[in-house]
Amino acid sequence: MINRIPAKDFIEQSQSTLVIDVRSGKEYDQGHIRRAINLPLFNDEERAIIGVLYKNSGREASVLKGLELTGPKLTDFVKKLHSLTDNKKVLVHCWRGGLRSESMAWLFSLAGYQVSLLEGGYKAYRRFIREEFSKQARIILLGGMTGTGKTELLRLLSKKGEQVIDIENIACHKGSVFGGLGQSDQPTNEQFENNIFDEWKIMDPSKIIWMEDESRTIGNISIPDPLFEQMGRAPMVKVETGLAERITRLVKDYSGFEKYALNEALQKISEKLGGTNTKAAMAALEAGDFTKVVELTLAHYDKAYAYSLFKREKSKIHAVLLEARDDDKNVSLILQTGKSIL
């Protein structure tokens, strides 16, 4: 039995039902529905051959070639599906919801599975998630200068049962030129958006959603436009702490990395630091004076963040002075402030 279902229903069912993505490996690697298993009808080379044949000789010739290529693999497809699930229900999609997914759905149905196809394919899924990012939610941004411990505060808020989306964790990057140190490789921009949506879809939009104040670009990827625009309209709780505490935190976070990696990061902002400050920072790094390195680079980041705040609506920025080494009190202050502004 084969059904066609819209993206919303497909996503809901994917929480408990196996998703099979029949696109080629290259398509899958570019971006896919999280937890979807790639079982390509055609590999990358085969897909290219069929594409050229379709362009030069038409649909009939490409379909015949497709049958020739897939015929020997049909048994293996079914055996693979058997190894992946004991459930006799399966979700299947390709790029547009065309011949590739229909063919695999027919095969799985013949093998006794109840198959649901994603109407419009992965393309429809991508369109759906961007529309979802546009839906109004009760976002509060957690802002503050570099080194104020915003990431840890988000974790503490989450432990208190608050709704939190940690964009930097999803991006595998902490935002600055040093933000990629110690992180795994960043996902593609497309996969980044899919991964954010995987968190977004389980949020209750009637309740506060905490997110860190971010630039549009994080490392080599960007926050999807609809979400970034909504973040730009959101109120902010801006946390503040002493300079010495910020420096201590940053030294602890980054001094353990290899000097060559820190040097490379400094090179990337050398123009913004200026020649004199760059030379001083590199000399301090070589000497192992990480405090001096942080002091010199913070001047740049503080100036940049102050400018980003200047462009925001002042009435939506609410400052909270943090207490040193008192996490419970700080989280309580943030929650109290957040609930008073929404």
Domain residue spans of the chain = 2-129, 135-341
C-alpha 329: how far from chain center: 30
> Could you give the angle at which helices 121-134 and 225-233 cross, rounded to 10 degrees?
10
Least Cα distance to 211 among 220, 195, 198, 200 occurs for 200
Cα-Cα-Cα-Cα torsion 291, 292, 294, 297, nearest 10 degrees, comes to 180
Asked if residue 30 has pLDDT above 90, the reply is yes
Q: Mind listing the pLDDT tens digit for each residue in 302-317?
A: 998 888 888 888 889 9
> Which pLDDT belongs to residue 87?
92
Each residue's pLDDT tens digit, 164-183: 999 999 999 998 888 898 88
pLDDT digits 0-9 by tens, 64-114: 776 676 767 899 999 999 999 999 999 999 999 988 999 999 999 999 999
Res. 32: pLDDT tops 80: yes
Quickly list DSSP for 254-272: HTTS-HHHHHHHHHHTHHH
Residue bearing tokens 């049909």 = 74
Joined together, the tokens standing for residue 131 give 């529309």
Q: Which CATH superfamily is domain 2-129 in?
A: Rhodanese-like domain (3.40.250.10)
| C-alpha span between 330 and 152 (Å, rounded) | 11
Q: State the Cα–Cα distance between residues 282 and 122, nearest whole angstrom.
A: 48
pLDDT exceeds cutoff 80 at 287: yes
Distance (Å, whole) CA 321 – CA 167? 24
Q: Find how far residue 28's CA is from the centre of its chain.
A: 16
pTM of the entire structure? 0.91
> Which amino acid would we find at residue 27?
E
- Predicted confidence at residue 66, as pLDDT, reads 66
Return the DSSP state at 111.
Answer: T
Active site residues: 94
pLDDT of residue 130: 95
CATH fold label, 135-341: Rossmann fold (3.40.50)
